[in-house]
Structure 1
Amino acid sequence: MATLLPQRSARLLREPSRHGSLPLFLTPAFSSLRTQCFSTTSPAQSRVGGAAISIPPEVSMSLVDLPKSLFRSRGKDIPKVAVEIQGPRGNMTLSVPSFLNVNHDEAGRKATLSVLDSSVAHQRAMWGTTRALLQNHILGVSEGHICILSLVGVGYRATIETTATTVKPEYEGQKFVSLKVGYSHPIELGIPQGVEASTPQPTRILLESVDKRTVTQFAAKIREWRRPEPYKGKGIFVNGETIKLKAKKIK
């Protein structure tokens, strides 16, 4: 559409219309009309994936070549390299797509990721995603990830139990989160392996783990039993979650 405007203005200046020629007071406006973009800034791609990642002194990172798979599926990327991260809180491994390169600067304690072809949308998307996963793994093995759940409601409370009556343990020594949030039956949830749970207060649940995805998924599973509702403000809130209260429906 923008390319047609100069041609139209030139035609109006060159050819008289059926109603007459272009008025003189509109001539300067049409003569100065030119093709231009809506934004004056130059287009730029996101550089989140290319940002350097700082590695703490107590964390060690190494690249490991993965064995070649015997079965290859069409259209599916097969990782060739994995990143092993070791820290004071545990170890984690991240598989890197084949079109991504991990550059580890041991002297500068930095790690950067590069992609083979930045013009491919899938590679650009996985570029930033892989960098975020690597950053979360480094933070997990050095400091750990936590989720704090707040139980808001009359009589709402939670405890950590070593045994359960409604569910069976999935591994030896598994503990369970017991919730009392207004149901007539007990609610018992098995704590996933690698997650530490505690109740500093009867209405607070503290979850800790080196894997951010595991601890946040378990927090979301607990929250599903009492989602925050907007009329009385009751429910299970995760990490300082807030909700806007609504007025009561009066018929």
Structure 2
Amino acid sequence: MSLPQRCARQLLREPFQRGSLPIFLAPAFSQPRSQCFSTTSPAQSRVGGAPITIPPEVSFKLVDIPETLTRTRGKDIPKFAAEIKGPRGEMSVNIPSFLTVTRDETGQKATLSVQDTDIPHQRAMWGTIRALIQNNILGVSEGHVCVLSMVGVGYRATVEEKATTVEPTYPGQKFVSLKVGFSHPIELGIPKGVEASTPQPTRILLEGVDKRVVTQFAAEIRDWRRPEPYKGKGIFVNGETIKLKAKKIK
């Protein structure tokens, strides 16, 4: 062990002996304390703790889940679910057992709380379940919308009743036909519960109650022509923008 290391150990073992520490270091060792890097006090989840507004035309109630329908793989088994009904449809969300849903006296707002905010899993699911409930309330009352813009020479889109390359998965299914520079036709089946229309040849409007289904179908359409950064061509979702790059000059 080198001399500086031995001196450092001696200073740590005997910090209060006279003459073992310089005068300017004595206050630091006289009051040892642990201090966090963050100076802010811990706070609850900003998303999970926010109240949920329930419109008058939406019905929100909690129902028990039968034991035969509960999953046993996860850490928590949900015992009740939130049923949300509105003019556009009906949705449900399974509520974990460590979450508590409280409604006010008027019934127009609901808040979520967890048993222990120090557990990371509960804190994470707190905001997730609150966001799912809020999305479902918005879906059954107003609906979710995705607008796809097609930028490129000859890019077109139409909604067809039948398809030649894809078989329908449910009765009455419609298909989105894309012309985005391929020699073969691109036909995508519209998922159940989603309405598609083309107000313009280069615009696709998707509407539905379930936000996850609507955005997933929009992502599948976008994958056929992702926006490229040199000419700015591609399929853009909901006002998506990209930063153009300079052309490579050899």
Global fold match (TM > 0.5): yes
Q: TM-score, normalised by structure 1?
A: 0.86
Does 2:41 align with 1:42? yes
194 and 106 in structure 1: CA distance in 2 versus 1, 3 angstrom threshold: farther
Q: Is the 8 A contact 2:101 2:112 kept in 1?
A: yes
106 and 163 in structure 1: CA distance in 2 versus 1, 3 angstrom threshold: farther
Q: Is the 8 A contact 2:152 2:233 kept in 1?
A: yes
CA distance in 2 between counterparts of 1:173 and 1:249 reads: 49
Aligned pairs for 1:1-251 within 5 A? 11=15, 14-15=18-19, 22=22, 27-28=23-24, 30-33=25-28, 35=33, 36-69=35-68, 73=72, 75-105=74-104, 107-251=106-250
The letter of the residue matching 2:180 is: V
CA-CA distance at 1:71 after TM superposition: 8.1
CA-CA distance at 1:184 after TM superposition: 0.3
CA distance in 1 between counterparts of 2:72 and 2:157 reads: 47
Write out per-residue CA displacement over residues 183-226 of structure 1, whole angstroms, 9 at most, x where no aligned residue.
Answer: 00000000000000000110000000010000000000000000
CA-CA distance at 1:32 after TM superposition: 4.6
74 and 158 in structure 1: CA distance in 2 versus 1, 3 angstrom threshold: closer
SS in 2 for 1:63: strand
Write out per-residue CA displacement over residues 55-101 of structure 1, whole angstroms, 9 at most, x where no aligned residue.
Answer: 01111111111111388736543221111111111111111112212
- Map of 2:4 onto structure 1: none
SS in 1 for 2:116: coil
The letter of the residue matching 1:65 is: D
76 and 223 in structure 1: CA distance in 2 versus 1, 3 angstrom threshold: same
The letter of the residue matching 1:79 is: P
Which structure 2 residue ranges, 5 or more long, are not aligned? Answer: 1-7
Q: TM-score, normalised by structure 2?
A: 0.86
Question: Percent same amino acid among aligned pairs?
Answer: 73
CA distance in 2 between counterparts of 1:140 and 1:70 reads: 25
State the superposition RMSD in angstroms: 2.4
CA-CA distance at 1:13 after TM superposition: 8.4
CA distance in 1 between counterparts of 2:65 and 2:55 reads: 25
SS in 2 for 1:69: helix
232 and 62 in structure 1: CA distance in 2 versus 1, 3 angstrom threshold: same
CA distance in 2 between counterparts of 1:70 and 1:143 reads: 30
55 and 74 in structure 1: CA distance in 2 versus 1, 3 angstrom threshold: closer
The letter of the residue matching 1:15 is: G
The letter of the residue matching 2:19 is: E
CA distance in 2 between counterparts of 1:171 and 1:186 reads: 21
Aligned length: 237
Which structure 1 residue ranges, 5 or more long, are not aligned? Answer: none
CA distance in 1 between counterparts of 2:72 and 2:127 reads: 25
